[in-house]
Amino acid sequence: MTADRRLWFRNRPDCLSDPVCEGVCFDPATGETHFLGDLPALLLSVIDSEPVSVDRLTQRLTGADAIADDDRKKMIGALLFLEAAELVESRFE
Amino acid sequence: MAAHDEKISQNRRKLFKALSAAPVVTTFSSGSALANASAHQCLANPPVASTPQYLEPLPAECSDSNPGANCMAYVERFYWDNDGLSGTHLQYWNNTVTDGRIVVLTDETTATLFTVNPDGSDPDPINTSWNYSVSGSNLIVPGQGGGATPVSLPGKTGYFLLEVVPNADLTGIQEAYAYPQATQDPLAQSCGTSLGVTATNGVHWVDG
Amino acid sequence: MRSSDSAFLDTLGVFYPGRAPQTPTCVYDYDIRVYRPFSMRRWVRPQIQFEIDHLHPFEPHPAENAFPMYEWGLNWCIASSAHRYLMLHAGSVAFGDRAMILPGTPGSGKSTLSAALVLSGARLLSDEFGLVRPERGDLLPMPRGIPLKNASIEAIREFRTDAPLGPTYPKTRKGRVSHVRPDDTSLAQQDRPAVPRWLIFPKYVAGVAETLEPLDKTDAFRQLAFNSFNYRLLGDAAFNAVGAIIRNVDCYTFRFSRLERAVEHLTALVAETETPGT
């Protein structure tokens, strides 16, 4: 999967999260409110302005270097959702 | 360090729980962003921007002998997918009758962002997500005005537009025409289609 | 507010007693005129025109529908200009200083339910528009006639035979319309804001047993934002305001069919919340 070789980052002000409604966030960069599932919300919480690989994101989340292939595919899928919603950006390594 | 380890441990638990769920991201656009949003640009400037898109045929009450002001149409836009309706995204456009046709989605840079009807009647969102249902892979759009026949749209991921016209003596809503609008990517809201003008049982299909 | 139509002014006086001064003594939000345009239609099927700040945003209506047209026109004025507030498409009533917000779409029964609650002692904050001050999170009262449509008129007459209903307008763009006059207490306290405490999404379903069910806060957020007229326009202010409301209220869906039972359910909810220790 070509997305596997991308680096992920968000070079914009942080989204505003609602403290009670999990996954509800407002993106000041676009003015849009998003309703995120658990996985996209979790990934967004560890993405910052530094472009990093999926492996690095996994490490940030779990402390481990790698996860199962199926789980990795799900993470990439969620990252693509986030990118489509203009919440994160990516570029190739 | 202990706090960091605890955070990692907490994230790990969250991750394994999250991996079992669908990666849903739905979006509710804000007005200030809307003007620059790709979807709005697409709708405001359809792919054939210089050629107005029309709704045809018009309902019987919307003829040249019936002034356009008495035959207003309303357009709603919703996002849905084959799993059901989600991330409802509502917008209205104020349409006019020109040469016996209702012009849609052209020159809408001043599109109204609130849901007061253009005729001044009270705020009236014509329908919302919970009034629609999904049957198999079909989206069921309820008939308007209590008694009209529901319209069934075959499963298709993307947006659809709903156009509603008052009945002849303006005492209620008579018809609902649904316009599915495919998109290349519903989340990115990029547009890859235009409204078609082929009518089949009140449903106008989409080109592109 | 100026008009040369005496029948319209009479109705206006019933719904807004003492609030239609003819002599301007302060700065007005809207300069509204309701009048019969001078044309052949003056004698044949006479019409009435709504003018706001010397503009005519709407086509003329039949003259007999002057009051509904005025109410709808006023809605338009507010919806198109009051963007310093978060505008909710909702009925809202208050019990003391605590507000119950009833968002809903046409046919959900929110106006009928709001009217029934007001006729049972709740204070009317507003129908159609819930005006929230984003910086404070409270609801500003705007007690006006509650428009009932078609079968709702009979439902309210059945609920309270002495309900203060205005004239029935048999043929408007919404069908038959009649307005419930706000009670004197609501009018007298129209400067007294209320803090949201309950958020209830009503749904009238014929024949159903009344059912009040807790609603997940994220769903409530989504639905409340959806029912806001200017959520998109206000951006982060709306996001924060909706979030603050959701944090401070109990959220429910409410299916109902019988007004008497519906009011019992909701007033019991209020009493339960007000009981110390609950």
Q: Is the residue at B12 inside a domain? A: no
Residues of C in contact with B30 (CB under 8 A): 231-235, 238
Instruction: Tokens for A68, please give them.
Output: 């199962």
Interface check C174 vs B, CB under 8 A: yes
Residues of A in contact with C222 (CB under 8 A): 24, 35
Rounded Cα–Cα distance for residues C119 and C186 (Å): 11
Taking an 8 Å cut-off on Cβ atoms, the answer to whether C222 and A35 are in contact is yes
Taking an 8 Å cut-off on Cβ atoms, the answer to whether A21 and C217 are in contact is yes
Between these two residues, C62 and C124, which has the higher pLDDT value?
A: C124
Interface check C261 vs B, CB under 8 A: no
Task: Say which amino acid occupies B32.
Answer: S
Q: Is the residue at B4 inside a domain? A: no
User: What mean pLDDT comes out for the span B47-51?
Assistant: 26
Please check the confidence at residue C209 and state whether its pLDDT lies above 60: yes
* Percentage, residues of chain C above pLDDT 70: 90
Taking an 8 Å cut-off on Cβ atoms, the answer to whether C229 and B121 are in contact is no
Residues in contact with C69: Cβ distance below 8 Å, sequence separation at least 6, in sequence order? B120, C34, C48, C50, C58, C61
| CB burial readout C43-71, b (16+ within 10 A) else e | eeebbbbbbbeeeebbbbbbbbbbbbbbb
Could you read off the pLDDT of C70-80 as tens digits, one per residue?
Answer: 888 887 788 77
- Minimum distance, in Å, between the CA of residue C165 and any CA atom of chain B: 18
Q: Is the residue at B80 inside a domain? A: yes
Q: Residue C43: its pLDDT value, please?
A: 58
A71-85, B151-165, C29-43, C82-96: lowest mean pLDDT where?
Answer: B151-165
A53-62, B15-24, C3-12: lowest mean pLDDT where?
Answer: B15-24
A60-74, C24-38, C158-172, C176-190: lowest mean pLDDT where?
Answer: C24-38
Residue to mutate among A39, A79, A83, with most B CBs inside 10 A, is A39
Cα-atom radius of gyration of chain C, to the nearest Å?
Answer: 19
**Where is mean pLDDT largest: B50-54, B82-86, C94-98?**
C94-98
Could you read off the pLDDT of B108-162 as tens digits, one per residue?
Answer: 222 222 222 333 333 333 333 334 455 554 555 544 333 444 545 444 333 444 4
CB C180 within 8 A of CB C119: yes
User: What mean pLDDT comes out for the span B32-41?
Assistant: 29
Residues of C in contact with B123 (CB under 8 A): 75, 79, 89, 128-129, 229
- Minimum distance, in Å, between the CA of residue A78 and any CA atom of chain C: 20
- Minimum distance, in Å, between the CA of residue B11 and any CA atom of chain A: 5
Q: Is the residue at B168 inside a domain? A: yes
Interface check B27 vs A, CB under 8 A: yes
Taking an 8 Å cut-off on Cβ atoms, the answer to whether C89 and B128 are in contact is no
Could you read off the pLDDT of C133-158 as tens digits, one per residue?
Answer: 999 999 999 999 998 988 899 999 99
- Side by side, the strands of the sheet bearing B74-81 are B84-85, B74-81, B158-166, B173-185, B190-191
- Of B21, B27, B87, nearest to A38 by CB-CB distance is B21
Domain boundaries, position B181:
31-207
Rounded Cα–Cα distance for residues B59 and B105 (Å): 18
Bridge partners of B28? A33
Taking an 8 Å cut-off on Cβ atoms, the answer to whether A84 and B12 are in contact is no
Q: Is the residue at B13 inside a domain? A: no
- Of C218, C239, C247, nearest to A26 by CB-CB distance is C239
Please check the confidence at residue C262 and state whether its pLDDT lies above 90: yes
Taking an 8 Å cut-off on Cβ atoms, the answer to whether C174 and B121 are in contact is yes
Q: Is the residue at B181 inside a domain? A: yes
Q: How many structural domains are present in chain B?
A: 1
Mean pLDDT over the full length of chain B = 40
- Minimum distance, in Å, between the CA of residue B30 and any CA atom of chain C: 3
Please check the confidence at residue B197 and state whether its pLDDT lies above 50: no
Rounded Cα–Cα distance for residues C69 and C65 (Å): 6
Only one residue has tokens 């481990």, namely A64
